[in-house]
Amino acid sequence: MKNLFEVKNLNMHYPVIDGLMGNIKGYVYALNNVNLEIRENEILGLVGESGSGKSTLGNCILKLITPTSGEVLFKGEDILLKDKKQLKEFRKQAQLIFQNPYMSLNPRMKIYDILKEPFIINGIKDKDEINEKIKNIIRLIGMDEDVLTRYPHEFSGGQRQRIAIARAIILNPEFIVADEPVSALDVSIQAQIVNLILSLKEHLNLTMLFISHDLSIIKYISDRIAVMYLGEIVEIADKEELFNNHKHPYTEALLNAVPVISEDKKTKKIILSGDLPSPQNPPKGCKFHTRCPYVMEKCKTAHPDFYEAMPNHKVRCFLCENSG
Ligand code: SF4
């Protein structure tokens, strides 16, 4: 399968400014040397605790924020080097679904105008074309045309997220970053929205980066999964491989946090203790060493590479140094 995106050595270090003097007194190391491919037509799940850098990565991939250094290749071209006009073209092909459907829809605009806005922004003026596309998209997200004359506050969270999804896909993008798209919704509605995203992905041939802290949702929706810890990808593999043959202690800890019904009480389990260290002052060596039950002396000073544990399965941990 061809790569749609290649992320190379991506860093995002936010300066921390001293309020009085305006001097830089440190950095928040939000992304550190991230390397990642997103293949055409796949859903790549990105999972990790809150504060691990998942949303920052999604925003950098869409160039909604400009990273400190690195490359983001879309179909082989670095979007970080694109000018304003080229970026506008790129944004037609790559869209974002936000976490919070209560914030992402303008409360003063009717649904019709919300869905029309992307056409206006992109200079598309043909009224018949716009109307036809809006009606089609409303059908596709399972709503009736009468919603078009109403305002966002008249809808439930799930319905608003359907409308936000419609807005994201109305210009027929190839790629979507879905940033925690169901975490603000009731559990009873989450499955409906996840299933809607899956059916749209099939129907429209979408490629997707699906960001979530919830491994059970990531497992349900993804083809491959990348696990993020403190601004680094620590493990990436096909979904089945990651769930059945995970190698990184952090992945193991995340999986142990997912409730399962099991009679196997003898298996040793890693339970994640303590908070995520501050990205402003990350631990030296392996960033997970302060919480890892398998920590060795060298983990405290040396930084592990990304080892190929199996074909298509990479792990950033010294325990995999000699595998592959
Ligand atoms: Fe644990 Fe060491 Fe592996 Fe880091 S490199 S995850 S501290 S065993």
With helix as H, strand as E and coil as C, how does the chain read?
CCEEEEEEEEEEEEEEECCCCCCEEEEEEEEEEEEEEEECCCEEEEECCCCCCHHHHHHHHCCCCCCCEEEEEECCEEHHHCCHHHHHHHHHHEEEECCCCCCCCCCCCCHHHHHHHHHHHCCCCCHHHHHHHHHHHHHHCCCCHHHHHCCHHHCCHHHHHHHHHHHHHCCCCCEEEEECCCCCCCHHHHHHHHHHHHHHHHHHCCEEEEEECCHHHHHHHCCEEEEEECCEEEEEEEHHHHHHHCCCHHHHHHHHCCCCCCCCCCCCCCCCCCCCCCCCCCCCCCCCCCCCCCCCHHHHCCCCCCEEEECCEEECCHHHCCCC
Name the residue with tokens 């003097």: 21
Q: Is the pLDDT of residue 114 over 90?
A: yes
Report CA(243)–ligand 1 centroid distance (Å).
Answer: 19
Query: What predicted TM-score, i.e. pTM, was given to this entire model?
Result: 0.92
31 vs 266: which has the higher pLDDT: 31
Could you tell me which residues come within 8 angstroms of residue 156 by beta carbon, excluding any fewer than 6 positions away?
189
Q: Indicate which residue's Cα is closest to atom 6 of ligand 1.
A: 317
Report CA(31)–ligand 1 centroid distance (Å).
Answer: 19
What does the pLDDT average to over 26-33? 95
First CA to last CA distance, the chain = 22
Mean of all residue pLDDT scores within the chain = 92
User: How confident is the model over 86-96, as pLDDT tens digits?
Assistant: 999 999 999 99
Q: Is the pLDDT of residue 259 over 70?
A: no
Q: Which CATH class is domain 3-245?
A: alpha beta
Q: Is the pLDDT of residue 270 over 70?
A: no
Residue 249's pLDDT is what? 96
Q: Is the pLDDT of residue 263 over 60?
A: no
Residue 1's pLDDT is what? 79
For ligand 1, mutation pick of 290, 317, 321, 322 (most atoms within 8 Å of CB): 317
Report CA(288)–ligand 1 centroid distance (Å).
Answer: 6
User: What's the rounded Cα separation, in Å, for the pair 23 and 28?
Assistant: 15
Query: In which band, very low, low, confident or very high, does the pLDDT at 256 lie, cut at 50, 70 and 90?
Result: confident
